[in-house]
Amino acid sequence: MTETPVTSVKTAVPGARRPGPGNALLGLAGLGGFLALAEAVPRLGLVSPDYLPPASTIAVALVGEMSDAAFWTALGDTLTGWALGLLIATVAGVATGVLITVVPYLREATASTVEFLRPIPSVALIPLAVLLFGTDLRSTLLLVVYAAFWQVLVQVLYGVQDLDPVAEETARSYGLGTWARIRHVLWPTALPYVMTGVRLAAAVALVLAITAELIIGTPGLGSRIAVAQTSHAVPDMYALVAVTGLIGVLINLGARAVERRSLAWHQSVRGEVTT
């Protein structure tokens, strides 16, 4: 209730957060079951503990990792590559999307190029990244930005299409110029789509950041996973993989929280309101 705008006129129904305490309990139970299974399977000898150590061993390895300064450096490197890449991709995607829309005929002229470039898997650019930047952070950035940029751009292009002609005419009739209409009408209209784009891009960016570190060897959790693998530190490898998964979960939760806060006015967040 706290972040819902409360007014004296009509109170908005806080929707969008259906999962009650019962569901959370079930989720915890499921997670506990999964961990128990991961503990039991190697202990019962169904899978060799050399390839899949019991969950408790992995947990111990995780604690060991967390007491190692190099782990935190790697985590910082991964998050830097992820955040910086996502930021660049978002700014570039939004700017390009708005520009393509506002300049006449540009959208038609660029549509085929976008459709051609977009499906190119970012990992196909790994050789290029190595050639250009070696094992530098910039290699990670190249892959992250390329993958995340299209997610944002495509959503921005969808979003600006959602522009209501009545809203646009209202703005024009009240003397809002091109820039004011972009700022006050186009941008808020596209914002829900931009948020979706950034959320998708954030997930993709993490995948590409880890991939770059793993394959190219740019510093970060990915290269640490590779080192753990080659030195047969299997529990550590699993611990690091678990950490990347946790980062993914946190990123998604964070993105959703930002979305809810900034889109309180949008029907996807505000829930049912009688008019």
Q: Does 275 bind other proteins (CB under 8 A)?
A: yes
Query: Directed axis angle between helix 221-230 and helix 234-262, to 10°?
Result: 160
- Other Cβ atoms less than 10 A from the Cβ of 122: the count is 22
Q: Site for other proteins (CB under 8 A): which residue of 112, 175, 230, 232?
A: 175
Q: Which among 194, 274, 265 is positioned nearest to 16, based on CA atoms?
A: 265
The CA radius of gyration of the chain, in Å to the nearest whole number, is 23
Q: How far is the CB of 106 from other proteins (least distance, A)?
A: 21
- What letter represents residue 183's amino acid? R
- The closest of 146, 124, 142 to 133, measured between CA atoms, is 142
- Residue 8 makes contact with other proteins by CB under 8 A: yes
Q: Pick the closest to residue 129 from 144, 139, 138 (CA basis).
A: 139
By CB under 8 A, residue 261 contacts other proteins: no
Binding to other proteins by residue 21, rule CB under 8 A? no
CB under 8 A, 24+ apart: contacts of 68-74: 70/224, 71/224, 73/219, 74/219, 74/220, 74/221, 74/223, 74/224
Type of residue found at 136: D
Instruction: Round to the nearest angstrom and report the end-to-end CA distance of the chain.
Output: 21
Question: Which one of residues 14, 15, 49, 188 is an interface residue with other proteins (CB under 8 A)?
Answer: 188
The correct pick among 1, 2, 9, 48 for binding other proteins (CB under 8 A) is 9
Task: Write down the least CB distance from residue 184 to other proteins, Å.
Answer: 6
Closest distance to other proteins from the beta carbon of 53 (Å): 51
Among 180, 246, 257, 258, binds other proteins (CB under 8 A): 180
CB of 175 to other proteins, least distance (A): 5
* 178 is an interface residue for other proteins by CB under 8 A: no
Distance of CA 175 to the CA centre of its chain: 38
Is the Cβ–Cβ distance between 209 and 222 less than 8 Å? Answer: yes
Tokens coding 248:
């993914």
Q: How many residues form the binding site for other proteins (CB under 8 A)? A: 29
Asked if 270 is part of the footprint of other proteins (rule: CB under 8 A), the reply reads: yes
| Residue with Cβ nearer other proteins (138 or 270) | 270
Mark the segment that binds other proteins (CB under 8 A) among 16-24, 85-93, 166-174, 196-204: 166-174
Interacting residues with other proteins (CB under 8 A): 5, 7-12, 164, 166-167, 169-170, 172-177, 180, 184-185, 188, 191, 265-267, 270, 273, 275
